[in-house]
Structure 1
Amino acid sequence: MSKMSRLEMIKSFAEQEPNNPFNWYALALEYKELEPQKAGEYFIKLLQEFPEYLPTYFQAANFFAESEQLQTAKETFLKGISLAKQQNDSNTLRELKNSYSNFVFEYDIEED
């Protein structure tokens, strides 16, 4: 009996528990290197369907920045920073703020 690949296993979890955002998050991360376009679709799904799932924002914002989708990256960083404040998650807030500062500097983005 062959072992199920990691990707197939995560897909199976997502199908079995479609309301668990972690499964979609894991799929997005898994696809980041394999098929970036598919990863982007999963990040968008997460941001739209599970907007309270804070872990998405750091990974998604950086993914969009690396994909040269700078406006989407900026919006994702700012929404994540706002959500981290609402959820009183100081560690994630610090990570997002630091990453956002680097993003603004690296891509010469106009801050609001």
Structure 2
Amino acid sequence: MEGRLTQLKAFLEESPNDPFLKYALTMEYVKLGNDEQALAGFEDLILVHEDYVGTYYHFGKFLEGKNQQDRAISIYEKGMQIAQQKRNFHALGELRNAHMAANGLLDEDE
């Protein structure tokens, strides 16, 4: 996986404002268990690329895994707003389900 990490960093040097590349790099950090870099990546994405809908679901799940339930719920809520604005109904549905599960209103297997 280190090769993929190196490759993504090289791509980002060429296109430093590409939200997909930032997202891919962040998800690579998640896979590698590099929580500090993953958190920094998620934070950058929601600050600089607020409308990149894919961030919100995975950031929320990351936070849930770190026992930051309240923050995860807040991230899901923000993601639902963005998905609604962008009319991305697939993402909206996934975020709603994650939000409901995080609030204990839905079994995630449903």
TM normalised by structure 1 equals 0.86
> Which residue in 1 is equivalent to 2:48?
49
> Which residue in 2 is equivalent to 1:7?
5
* Structure 2 unmatched runs, 5+: 106-110
Query: Pairwise mapping of residues 71-110 of structure 1 onto structure 2 (< 5 A)?
Result: 71-105=70-104
1:64, distance to aligned residue in structure 2 (A): 1.0
Cα distance in 2 for partners of 1:51, 1:9 equals 25
Compare CA radii of gyration and give the structure with the larger one.
1
| Count of residues in Structure 1 that have an aligned counterpart in Structure 2 | 103
Cα distance in 2 for partners of 1:81, 1:66 equals 20
Tell me how large the CA RMSD over aligned residues is.
1.4
Q: Is the 8 A contact 2:69 2:102 kept in 1?
A: no
1:103, distance to aligned residue in structure 2 (A): 1.1
Establish whether residue 27 from structure 1 lines up as the match of residue 25 from structure 2: yes
Cα distance in 1 for partners of 2:26, 2:70 equals 20
Cα distance in 1 for partners of 2:37, 2:29 equals 6
Cα distance in 2 for partners of 1:88, 1:17 equals 27
Q: Give identity over the alignment, percent.
A: 31
> Which residue in 1 is equivalent to 2:37?
38
| Deviation digits for residues 46-79 of structure 1 (CA, Å, limit 9, x no counterpart) | 0101001111111111111111222321111000
Cα distance in 2 for partners of 1:105, 1:71 equals 12
- Structure with more relative contact order (C-alpha pairs < 8 Å, separation 6 or more): 2
* Structure 1 unmatched runs, 5+: 107-112
> Which residue in 2 is equivalent to 1:110?
none
